């Protein structure tokens, strides 16, 4: 942790502010998956309806990620982060008062806008605050916060359902979702907006549509297309695995350990460690090599799952490398995407590349199901994962290495203004 001692107090405050925001976001989001059985039993809704709520949250999250990127370019990184934290906290809290499926569907979709937006706003803020040589480590550590939030959700679920009846416990859990709003007080007092070139006058500030169009300007169009493909492959492989691998292992391999606490503990631990490993590696070997390495390892591990004869014990052991490798790619994307764009459209570019893939990647689980009609499900899953992570590898090869790239376009306000002719631009 020598690098941590090197960074300044403002850098540390921003790091932990973004870490807390993503962890609390993880808690609020993961709580829904834990209370699905209770909602099905209490309201008598079907699994399809519960799945629709989860799907609507993810799609809204993709929209929120793009909107938050535009907002951060328009009004600033810190303000955009504050808005997203307040947004997902408020709608998680309001979900506690839903009286039927339709109300919960709308409220969870609205929560999803904040859930997707928080990652984008926090990633851009942190990337512009942490010095270049430690940016990858900081971004990877913040990505690990999702795992801690996931574990926190499991802990809260266990405690609340131990003392409150199921009919009321899920409402209590969603009500606790208002707590993250208190993080905004910390942000207002401790996190400083990264310096950037201000418009000559308010009238010169570009509008939201002009900012959005900026990521399709010829100077960055190739970056936007290739970055979107990386997001597509990364999310496509992840969603194919999480959607179909449990079904395959339960129905065709008849493994029982999937529903145990031990399996969940292994997956969460692997995710956190994977983020830390990726954080260290990407500042050592570079962003491109790191993404390619983890993509190849993900594809290989999935195929080991589906083609090797394994039992419960072997499956539990293999779940560790699978969780670790799956975490490594998103832990790299924050630094990579931020280092590809100029400051004026950075938030929008990061939001688009990450969330375009989140929406379009829904085709990959569908593809697995379609292929499974004419071949074994395991073979379909292995081929699909190979395609998804193959897209990641090819796209990464088309990008420049960005490790160590300076992305600030102006000096901090406490330092003399640099000569614009020598300023470093992305």
Taking each helix axis from N to C terminus, what angle separates 330-340 and 101-129, rounded to the nearest 10 degrees? Answer: 60
Same structural domain for residues 234 and 331?
A: yes
Please report whether residue 33 resides in a domain: yes
Inter-residue contact 274 to 328 (CB < 8 Å): yes
Q: Biggest alpha carbon distance in the chain?
A: 67
Q: What's the structural domain count of the chain?
A: 2
Give Cβ neighbours of residue 187 (< 8 Å, ≥ 6 apart). Answer: 17, 78, 81, 82, 85
Which residue would you say has higher pLDDT here, 240 or 88?
88
Output the domain CATH number for residue 99.
1.20.1250.20
Give the pLDDT band of residue 206 (cuts 50, 70, 90): low
Please report whether residue 180 resides in a domain: yes
Range of the domain at 221: 211-416
Among 188, 203, 220, the domain-final residue is 188
Same structural domain for residues 135 and 167?
A: yes
**What are the Cα distances from residue 223, in Å, to 25, 293, 350?**
28, 21, 10
From the number of C-beta atoms within 10 Å of its C-beta (0-12, 13-18, 19+), residue 317 rates as exposed
Predicted local confidence at residue 255, as pLDDT: 62
In the predicted model, what is the mean pLDDT of residues 90-110? 91
Give per-residue pLDDT as tens, 245-257. 666 766 676 666 5
Alpha carbons within 13 angstroms on the beta-carbon side of residue 4 total 12
Instruction: Write out the two tokens for 170.
Output: 């899920």
Same structural domain for residues 173 and 298?
A: no
Return the percentage of the chain with pLDDT > 90, whole number. Answer: 23
Which residue would you say has higher pLDDT here, 293 or 327?
293
Among 156, 188, 220, the domain-final residue is 188
In the predicted model, what is the mean pLDDT of residues 199-223? 74
Please report whether residue 67 resides in a domain: yes
Predicted local confidence at residue 188, as pLDDT: 79
Predicted local confidence at residue 308, as pLDDT: 77
Average pLDDT, the chain: 82
Same structural domain for residues 145 and 239?
A: no
Please report whether residue 204 resides in a domain: no
Predicted local confidence at residue 197, as pLDDT: 63
409 pLDDT exceeds 60? no
Compute how many other C-beta atoms are within 10 angstroms of the C-beta atom of residue 198. 10
**What are the Cα distances from residue 261, in Å, to 51, 266, 319, 350?**
22, 9, 13, 35
Nearest to 380 by CA among 243, 285, 181: 243
Give per-residue pLDDT as tens, 130-149. 988 899 999 999 999 988 98
424 pLDDT exceeds 70? no
289 pLDDT exceeds 90? yes
Among 157, 188, 219, the domain-final residue is 188
Collapse the DSSP code of 127 into the 3-class scheme (helix H, G, I; strand E, B; otherwise coil) and give the result: helix
Give the pLDDT band of residue 261 (cuts 50, 70, 90): low
CA 87 to chain centre: 17
Please report whether residue 197 resides in a domain: no
- In degrees, rounded to 5, the angle at the alpha carbon of residue 295 between the alpha carbons of residues 292 and 296 is 85
Give the pLDDT band of residue 291 (cuts 50, 70, 90): very high
Instruction: Write out the two tokens for 106.
Output: 């709308």
Same structural domain for residues 252 and 342?
A: yes
97 pLDDT exceeds 90? yes
Give the pLDDT band of residue 204 (cuts 50, 70, 90): low
At 414, phi and psi to the nearest 5? -80, -10
Same structural domain for residues 124 and 253?
A: no
Same structural domain for residues 85 and 182?
A: yes
Please report whether residue 206 resides in a domain: no
Instruction: Identify the sign of the CA torsion 249, 278, 146, 79.
Output: negative
Same structural domain for residues 352 and 407?
A: yes
Give the pLDDT band of residue 412 (cuts 50, 70, 90): very low
Compute how many other C-beta atoms are within 10 angstroms of the C-beta atom of residue 82. 20
Please report whether residue 370 resides in a domain: yes
Please report whether residue 205 resides in a domain: no
Return the percentage of the chain with pLDDT > 70, whole number. Answer: 88
277 pLDDT exceeds 90? yes
Same structural domain for residues 351 and 409?
A: yes
In the predicted model, what is the mean pLDDT of residues 53-63? 82
C-alpha span between 391 and 406 (Å, rounded): 28
Which residue would you say has higher pLDDT here, 195 or 335?
335
419 pLDDT exceeds 60? no
Same structural domain for residues 264 and 389?
A: yes
Predicted local confidence at residue 417, as pLDDT: 38
Predicted local confidence at residue 316, as pLDDT: 78
Same structural domain for residues 275 and 407?
A: yes
Site of tokens 């983890």? 294
Give the pLDDT band of residue 219 (cuts 50, 70, 90): confident
In the predicted model, what is the mean pLDDT of residues 119-123? 89
Same structural domain for residues 182 and 217?
A: no
Instruction: Write out the two tokens for 301.
Output: 């591990």
Which residue would you say has higher pLDDT here, 39 or 423?
39
Inter-residue contact 409 to 343 (CB < 8 Å): yes
Predicted local confidence at residue 363, as pLDDT: 77
Predicted local confidence at residue 416, as pLDDT: 34
In the predicted model, what is the mean pLDDT of residues 327-331? 89
């Amino acid at each position: 942790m020598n690098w941590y001692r090197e960074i300044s107090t403002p850098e540390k405050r921003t790091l932990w502010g973004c870490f807390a925001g993503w962890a609390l976001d993880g808690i609020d989001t993961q709580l829904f998956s834990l209370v699905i059985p209770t909602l099905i039993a209490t309201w008598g809704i079907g699994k399809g309806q519960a799945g629709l709520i989860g799907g609507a949250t993810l799609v809204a999250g993709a929209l929120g990620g793009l909107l938050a990127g535009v907002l951060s370019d328009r009004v600033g990184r810190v303000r955009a982060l504050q808005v997203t934290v307040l947004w997902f906290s408020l709608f998680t809290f309001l979900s506690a008062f839903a009286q039927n499926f339709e109300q919960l569907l709308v409220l969870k979709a609205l929560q999803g806008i904040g859930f997707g937006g928080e990652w984008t706003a926090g990633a851009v803020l942190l990337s512009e605050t942490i010095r270049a040589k430690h940016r990858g480590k900081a971004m990877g550590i913040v990505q690990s916060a999702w795992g801690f939030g996931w574990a926190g959700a499991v802990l809260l679920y266990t405690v609340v359902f131990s003392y409150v009846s199921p009919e009321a416990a899920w409402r209590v859990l969603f009500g606790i979702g208002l707590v993250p709003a208190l993080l905004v007080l910390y942000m207002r007092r401790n996190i400083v907006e990264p310096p950037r070139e201000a418009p000559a006058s308010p009238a010169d500030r570009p509008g939201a549509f002009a900012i959005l169009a900026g990521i399709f300007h010829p100077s960055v169009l190739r970056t936007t297309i290739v970055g979107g493909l990386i997001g597509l492959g990364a999310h496509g492989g992840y969603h194919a695995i999480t959607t179909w691998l449990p079904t395959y292992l339960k129905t065709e391999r008849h493994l029982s350990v999937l529903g145990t606490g031990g399996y969940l503990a292994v997956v969460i631990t692997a995710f956190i460690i994977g983020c830390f490993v990726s954080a260290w590696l990407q500042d050592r070997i570079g962003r491109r090599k790191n993404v390619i390495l983890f993509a190849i390892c993900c594809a290989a591990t999935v195929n080991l799952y589906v083609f090797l004869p394994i039992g419960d014990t072997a499956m539990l052991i293999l779940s560790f490398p699978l969780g670790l490798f799956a975490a490594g790619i998103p832990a790299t994307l924050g630094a990579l995407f931020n280092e590809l764009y100029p400051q004026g459209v950075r938030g929008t570019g990061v939001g688009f590349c990450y969330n375009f893939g989140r929406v379009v990647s829904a085709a990959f689980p569908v593809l697995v199901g379609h292929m499974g009609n004419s071949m074994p499900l395991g073979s379909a899953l292995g081929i699909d994962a190979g395609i998804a992570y193959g897209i990641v590898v090819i796209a990464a090869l088309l990008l420049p290495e960005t490790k160590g790239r300076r992305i600030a376009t102006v000096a901090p306000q406490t330092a003399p203004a640099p000569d614009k002719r020598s300023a470093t631009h992305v």
